Amino acid sequence: MKPLPYSDELHQAAHQFLVEEAALLDSGDYLGWLELLCDDIKYVMPVRVTTARGAGFDSLPDMGHFDEDLYSLRKRVQRLYTEHAWAEDPPSRTRHFVSNVRTFAFSETELYVESALLLFRSRGDTHEGDLLSAGRTDLLRLTEGGMRLARREVKADESVLRTQNLAVFL
Amino acid sequence: MSDLAGTADLPAVLADVRRGMIPARIYNDAEIFALERERLFAGAWMFLAHESEIPAPGDYVVRRVLTDSFIVVRDETGTVRVLFNMCLHKGMQVCRAELGNASHFRCPYHAWTYRNDGRLAGVPFHAEAYGGDDGFAREGQSLLPAPAVDTYNGLIFACLNADPPALREWLGDFGYYLDLYTRQSQVGIELRGPQRWRIKANWKIGAENFAGDSYHTPHTHASVTDIGLFREHGAGKRKDGALYVAGPGSGSASKLPPGGSFLEQLRYVGYPDEMIVTMAATWSKEQAALVEESGFLVSAATLFPNLSFVHDWPVIDEAGTVAPFISIRQWQPVSERETEVLSWFAVDAAAPEHFKRQSYRAYLMCFGSSGMFEQDDVENWVSITDMAGGSMARRLLLNSRMGLTSEDKPIRPPMAGFSGPGVAYQGFGEFNQRHWLAQWSDCLEASVEATSL
């Protein structure tokens, strides 16, 4: 399947959706972020592994860093709004750089969107910043309320993550 | 040898550690780390993998003991081999993948080729280059095997010392508890993962925490109670919990609601009846008694030096379904200030598929790279490591005497009605961490000769 041309309005809407989503995450508006999710959201991030070229797989089939539905994502967000979520208090300064967006018309109401994500995360005043590079494949749904995220698969480009935890969303 | 070993400093450090006053520097000190490599890790049984990760002939995973890379492989006859991942010729890594299946490993440099039992099978231009067997006899050549390998409940351990005590003997009383995590049926567990990530923290902090820090749970992990991820309040579950020391391990056990039968108690934490029936048939009477008579279920534990276990039972959906999970994790030292965490999800291989699915979700919510418990732990441990590296930390002794009077007596007697082996105390205390640190001290004190290859 060929990606939609950049001039296509659906591509532009999808790209804007991803940029607006990144703005919510980087400003710490996680409740706002939850509103972008469909009720049947699946949010997964398989563990990447180093395998021989001929092995036919480069992530673990049955283990992820995330395998979330709306319940577990809500719990994660609720947690960040408690007074005891030390992992993000003080909060990290994050920047979600989103690029390489390719949009594919999947059905009348759904788009597949691939994007590249580079997350910069700075904690404290003197720690070296963390970088997390990943590819994302999203299913975006066109609903009455606007565009919503129905599926996201995050494929990290590292096998061993170099950030102290995933208390952040990708 | 590290400089520290030759100075009067080490005895003083160990003496402080043994009285429960921990020199803060041990959590970020290059000399201490050098000693740990030489004296502790060179002689310890180190976990590498579980047999379920390599079920078929040729299946392999590559794992490390600190910087030494080993191929853990099931050979064509089904025997598990642990092979040093370095070509006999020029030292190239013969396997650069993390896992896979292979009948042979061929070195990328000059194509020396090894069978998956380690034996050298091929040397290119053997006749032309070496004059055949006269110059280099292939017979009897093999990738270096780990000096000692042993298994328990499918857990594969290696030791860099060729003459360690037998694993089962060394585990001693901890085997009782290890079974509760890794032998819920005759089939045993399957491991999934590991998730791997690196944290800027000293490896000892996680090992000590899982050994028995029930005191941190009410505060560090207050957020997971705040959001209703657990039915119980963290403080009560922990304050009434038990801490046990057994052989080279120690751990905590959570207090179950009063008065339930074996079936009721394990139903309460979310095990389906068919698994409970299997556990009853698999565990010894003494093991079942921990649940049924003492009213405790294992929570976190550490097997010295750096393998930890955790078992908990969160609410995993809007309907209030409770599902238990088990995780096994290793605190793999990278340096005195960095640790690679390897965190596996473990589940009884004979469990029904829907349970495995629920248990996996429970694990991901709580532990591992994104776990809501683990996130806050690591924040603390990175901060401790940061602080421990400075000059003021060299003047600070951290009080690790919880549970002891000024005369070194326990503030309350050991539990009388605790069914597990070893010594157990109810409530808070740092008995387990001191036990772990005592083993650490013994290792660091041992002469180099005693632990050399």
Domains of chain B are 47-152 (2.102.10.10), 175-443 (3.90.380.10)
Residue B93: pLDDT over 80 = yes
Going by pLDDT thresholds of 50, 70 and 90, the confidence category of residue A1 is confident
Range in B78-87, B162-171, B370-379 with the lowest mean pLDDT: B370-379
Give the pLDDT of residue B248. Answer: 98
What local confidence, expressed as pLDDT, does residue B234 receive? 64
Measured between beta carbons, which residues in chain B are less than 8 angstroms from residue A87? 375-376, 378-379
CA B414 to chain A, closest CA, distance in angstroms equals 33
| Fold held by A9-156 | Nuclear Transport Factor 2; Chain: A, (3.10.450)
Do the chains contact at B364 and A66, CB–CB below 8 Å?
yes
Kindly report the average pLDDT of chain B as a whole number. Answer: 94
- Quote the pLDDT of residue B3: 56
pLDDT at B447: 64
Give the SS3 label for residue A45. strand
Residue B219 has pLDDT above 90, yes or no: no
Contact yes or no for B100 and A62 at CB 8 A: no
Q: What residues does A57 pair with on adjacent strands?
A: none
pLDDT at residue B221, as a whole number: 86
Taking an 8 Å cut-off on Cβ atoms, the answer to whether A165 and B370 are in contact is yes
pLDDT for the residue numbered B233: 73
Amino acid at A166: L
In the numeric block, which tokens belong to residue B395?
């003047």
Instruction: Count CB neighbours of B258 within 10 A.
Output: 7
Among B379, B381, B385, pick the best mutation site for testing chain A contact (most A Cβ within 10 A).
B379
User: What confidence category does residue A106 fall into, taking pLDDT thresholds of 50, 70 and 90?
Assistant: confident
Task: Please write the tens of the pLDDT for every residue from B132-170.
Answer: 999 999 999 999 999 999 999 999 999 999 999 999 999
Rounded mean pLDDT, A138-159: 97
| Average pLDDT of chain A, as a whole number | 96
Of B98, B364, B380, nearest to A159 by CB-CB distance is B98
Mean pLDDT across the stretch A70-86?
A: 95
Q: What pLDDT is attached to residue B452?
A: 42
Sequence-distant (6+) residues with CB within 8 A of A43 are A37, A66, A67, A68, A69, A73, A151, A152, A154
Three-state secondary structure string covering B24-93: HHHHCCHHHHHHHHHHHHCCCCEEEEEHHHCCCCCEEEEEEECCEEEEEEECCCCCEEEEECCCCCCCCC
Please tell me the predicted confidence (pLDDT) of residue B5: 58
pLDDT at B8 exceeding the cut of 70: no
Residue in A closest to B364 by C-alpha: A66
B140 or A1: which leads in pLDDT: B140
The distance of B334 to chain A (nearest Cα, Å) reads: 13
Q: Are B228 and B315 in contact (CB under 8 A)?
A: yes
Distance of CA B114 to the CA centre of its chain: 31
Quote the strand ranges of A106-143, DSSP E. 110-122, 130-143
Beta carbons of B220 and A86 less than 8 Å apart: yes
pLDDT tops 60 at residue B425: yes
For residue B189, what is the enclosing H or E element? strand B189-199
Residue percentage of chain B with pLDDT more than 90? 89
Q: Which of B98, B192, B197 sits opposite A63 (nearest CB)?
A: B192
Q: Cα distance from A31 to chain B (closest Cα, Å)? A: 15
Closest by CA to B37, choosing from B317, B452, B383, B434, is B452
Instruction: Please give the model's pTM, rounded to 2 decimal places.
Output: 0.96
Q: Which residue from B76, B112, B47 is spatially nearest to B306, judged by alpha carbons?
A: B47
**CA trace torsion B227, B233, B239, B243 (10° rounding):** -70
